[in-house]
Structure 1
Amino acid sequence: MSTSIQKEKINYDFIDSLRFIAIISIVLEHSYLWPEPKFFTDVYEQSIQLFTMQVFKFGTILFYILAGFLIGDKIHTTTSLQYLKRRFDGTFKPWLFWMVVFLIFIYANFLVIYLKGAWSPVFDQPLWGFGKQLYDIIVNTSFWFILNFLGSISILLIFRRYLYSWKLGLFLGACSLFYSLNLYHEWIFSQHTTAVLGFVFYLWLGVILHKYFTEFNVWIKKCPVFPLALATAIMLFVSCWESYHLIQIGVKADPYNTLRFTNIIYSIVSFVFLYKLGNPLWIKKLNPRSSTYGIHLIHFIIIVQILPTIFNPLHITSAGKSSLELVFIQYARFFITYFASYFIVYLINKSNKLKWIVGQ
């Protein structure tokens, strides 16, 4: 086997495995049916909610690190414009397609309500209604990720000349930490989906990982699994504590915000731990490289538009449920959402004419 083939295997097998884990974490996170954070006052109930909301909170930062690694791999073989064009074709066009699908579902629901005689501002004030729905999709659903992702890549490529500068890394890290502090002070809108400069650092971190990948592998081989597992468990506990603290002090911000400082550390430590565990062969057989992005685009539409038609007639809501019952409901919603999304992507990938809509 040639050296180049060996290098490619080292680079991309772990990316596919971690992509698979990251998308599972994100679908799980979005499948919850939890009430407001302050709803539970019992410590036991609160602890279950905190743990459930936090344990899979590493997925978004994981995606950015992996994307940065790929940027580091391609940066010397393509221009910035060529790279952005390839990203545009592979990410933005599918994103735009599924956003139109999402809007069609939303308006179809509004039309049914309107025809039944209920008032709907979407039709009485069409421009305002369309703008509101567009804003909600881009800011309040998983569709926020792609615009932030493409914007983050663009910012990184603007500073391409300083890509390996630690000064750039410190600046981008400071930008991310600003959002961590902002959760406590609300200087600007604190929702992580609007954090324009909040995630660029993790792309840069992936670029640096690619540059020092040989050294990283030497270190990771020497590092035992137990200390990494222990560090991950400790950071999980500390991250839960920060969420609890944010709830107790009554901040307006989301207490489970991805850019909490403790969650940042938890996500990075989780990345190292998961990398150490290796690349299970069964994950590779699921072909995550061609399915992950499609699942990301489709899963939220299923959660918002399809799951209510299943759970509402059964009167399955968060009302009156214990935290343990809500965990079971969350996982039931996850399994339906994930496998439905995967099956749809699998069928689309069978068609050469259609597979562009699920990207890669």
Structure 2
Amino acid sequence: MTTKDIAKNYDFIDTMRFIAMIGIVMEHSSPFLGLKLDNLHDQIIQTVALQFIKFGTIVFFILAGFLIGDKFNDYTTKQYLGRRLHTTFRPWLFWVTVFILLFYIDEAVKYAKGSDSLGFTHPLIFIFDKIHFIIVQTSFWFIINFMLCITILLVFRKYMYSVVFGSILAILSLFYSVNLYFDWIPTGHTTALLGFVFYLWLGVILHKYFAEFNSWIKKRSFAVLLIAVLITFAISCAETINLIHLGSTDSGNTLRFTNILFSFASFLFLYKYCNFKAIEKLKPRSMTFGIHLLHHILIIIFLPMILRPLHIVYANETAWSLFFLQFAIFTLIYGTTYAIVYYIGQSKKWKWSVGQ
């Protein structure tokens, strides 16, 4: 494979990020998320509904590492981090501020109707609580963790291609996999600050040996890659069910060992078979970051305004109703977010806020 052919294949990044973002938005908008179901039948439906879209975060980190590898020799550590802060952190900070303002508007409406309002009676407690919620419990955690992971990689850039360094990062990630069974530290994947550096590193290594990777993946058949996805999907579901029965409060954690394997298998399958030309018409390169920033705002602030009048309470619905509702809500959230990001991107003044 020539250098020109390899460069041309970089288009796979936009396609795969776009597909991964679909999975992330569907998971975050799923009515199953955080719901405790009692019987095995319902737990299986919930697990399957959430697991098949669970590859997104790890795939995102691998792709981001690949891009770091691509720019590794073009920028110093300071230049690269400065560029990232300008193009990534500035939009993030803007939408975090918007998120907080929307929370205050909601509080103002409650206050005007005579309800108790922590935002007005104890404003400092309220704002710190919301900042913690946004940064730790929503998709906004990703940028903070992402910047930390990039910083760690670049600080140790002279060891970037070291197998020993990569092994240390892998052990750190696997620590969180084991921790799910022992609860040594909080298990939420959003607090696993060192758990995702390995996947950035893996992306860097993928870039370095991209020609060899292409040669290897070319020899893998559709059947082999599909079977790998199906097997890892099945064992990921089995581990989730097992963690539920063990009383885990985070049974669907992204850093479950079986989900790591599922994410790797999904990456390989998506790379070889899902580079759809039709996706290019949806402008994945310019849209994906904005969708990431805005979708959770719609889920937290605006989705309840739609569900409440319809008297939809997740806890009162059957598992099968929630299964189909997951796709309906995703379509609503993703379509609306896409439209908002698209129109913001048309504004010369504000397109920076969605990474354009």
TM bucket (normalised to shorter chain) is over 0.9
Shift of 1:314: 0.6
Which range moved further: 231-240 or 319-328? 319-328
State the one-letter code of the partner of 1:233. L
- Please, what TM-score do these two structures have when normalized by structure 1? 0.96
Q: Which residue of 2 aligns with 1:17?
A: 15
Q: Is 1:150 paired with 2:136?
A: no
Percent identical among aligned pairs is 53
Counterpart pick for 2:32 among 25, 31, 34: 34
Structure 2 unaligned regions, length at least 5: none
Alpha-carbon distance between aligned partners in 1 of 2:188 and 2:43, rounded to the nearest angstrom: 22
Shift of 1:323: 1.0
Residue identity opposite 1:322 in structure 2? T
Q: Is the counterpart of residue 257 in structure 1 residue 253 in structure 2?
A: yes
Is the deviation greater in 80-89 or in 147-156?
80-89
Matched, 1:269 2:269: no
- Distance in 2 between the 1:56 and 1:358 partners? 24
- 8 A Cα contact 2:287 2:342, kept in partner: yes
Instruction: Tell me how far apart the structure 1 counterparts of residues 244 and 207 of structure 2 sit (CA, whole Å).
Output: 38
Report the Cα offset of residue 315 of structure 1.
0.5
CA contact (8 A) 1:38 1:247 kept: no
Q: Name the residue aligned to 2:334.
A: 338
C-alpha distance after superposition, 1:49-69 (max 9, x if no partner) = 110011100000010000000
Conserved 8 A contact 1:37-1:247: no
Aligned-partner SS, 2:120: helix
The CA deviation string for residues 134-175 of structure 1, in whole angstroms up to 9 with x for no partner, is 000000111100000001000010000000000010000000
Query: 1:22 is aligned with what amino acid?
Result: A
Question: Could you say what secondary structure the match of 1:319 adopts?
Answer: helix
- CA deviation map 1:256-304 (0-9, x unaligned): 0001111111101110111110411101111100000000000001111
Q: Deviations over 1:308-355 (max 9, x none)?
A: 111110101213211111011111110111011111111111122211
Matched, 1:118 2:126: no
What number of residue pairs does the alignment pair up?
Answer: 355
Structure 1's unaligned 5+ residue stretches are none
Task: Tell me what 2:229 maps to.
Answer: 232
For the 8 Å contact 2:31–2:314, the answer to whether it is kept is: yes
RMSD value, Cα: 1.3
Change in CA separation of 1:37 and 1:248 when aligned onto 2, cut-off 3 Å: farther
Answer whether contact 1:94 1:358 (CA < 8 A) is retained. yes
Native 8 Å contact 1:26 1:57 kept in 2:
yes
Contact 1:45/1:323 (CA < 8 Å) preserved in 2?
A: yes
Which AA in structure 2 matches 1:271?
A: F
Q: What residue in structure 2 maps to residue 191 of structure 1?
A: 188
Task: Give the structure-2-normalised TM-score.
Answer: 0.97
Other-structure match for 1:127: 124
Q: CA deviation at 1:120?
A: 1.8
Q: Distance in 1 between matches of 2:160 and 2:33?
A: 43
CA distance in 2, matches of 1:354, 1:277: 36
